[in-house]
Amino acid sequence: MSEKYPHLKNAPIKEALIDIQVVLPTSFSIGDLKSTFLSKVSEKGFPSVQGINQIEIQGGKAQDNLFSSSKETLLGYRFSNKDNTKVIQARSNGYTFSHLQPYSRWDDFLEEAKLFWQIYCELTKPEKLTRLATRFINIIDPIDSITTVQNLGTVFKSAPTLPPLLPSKLENCFSRFVVSEERKVSPQSSRRHLSIPNLAKITLSSTLMFSKSFRMELKTSRFGQYSQK
Domains of the chain: residue spans and CATH: 1-52+69-126 (3.30.310), 140-229 (no CATH)
Q: Which band of pLDDT confidence, cut at 50, 70 and 90, is reported for residue 7? A: confident
Q: Look at residue 102 and give its three-state secondary structure.
A: coil
Q: Which of 224, 222, 170, 166 is nearest to 197 (CA)?
A: 224
Chain-centroid distance of CA 59 in Å reads 31
Give the per-residue pLDDT at 191. 43
Cβ neighbours of residue 188 closer than 8 Å, sequence gap 6 or more:
none
CA 86, CA 98: separation in Å to the nearest integer? Answer: 6
For range 114-135, the mean pLDDT: 91
Report the chain's mean pLDDT, rounded to a whole number. 77
For range 132-140, the mean pLDDT: 84
- DSSP for residue 193: T
Give the per-residue pLDDT at 141. 65
Please give the model's pTM, rounded to 2 decimal places: 0.74
CA 155, CA 143: separation in Å to the nearest integer? Answer: 10
Backbone angles phi, psi at 209, to 5 degrees: -125, 135
Look at phi and psi of residue 14 and say left if phi exceeds 0, alpha if psi is from -120 to 50, else beta: alpha
Torsion angle in degrees (nearest 10) through CA of 107, 111, 117, 122: 150
CA 137, CA 216: separation in Å to the nearest integer? Answer: 10
pLDDT tens-digit readout, 50-98? 999 888 787 777 777 777 777 778 899 999 999 999 999 999 999 999 9
DSSP 113-153: HHHHHHHHHHHH--SEEEEEEEEEEEEE---TT--BGGGGG
- The partner residues of 18 in beta bridges, in order of sequence, read 97, 134
Q: Tell me if 139 sits within 8 A of 14, measured CB to CB.
A: yes
Q: Tell me if 166 sits within 8 A of 177, measured CB to CB.
A: no
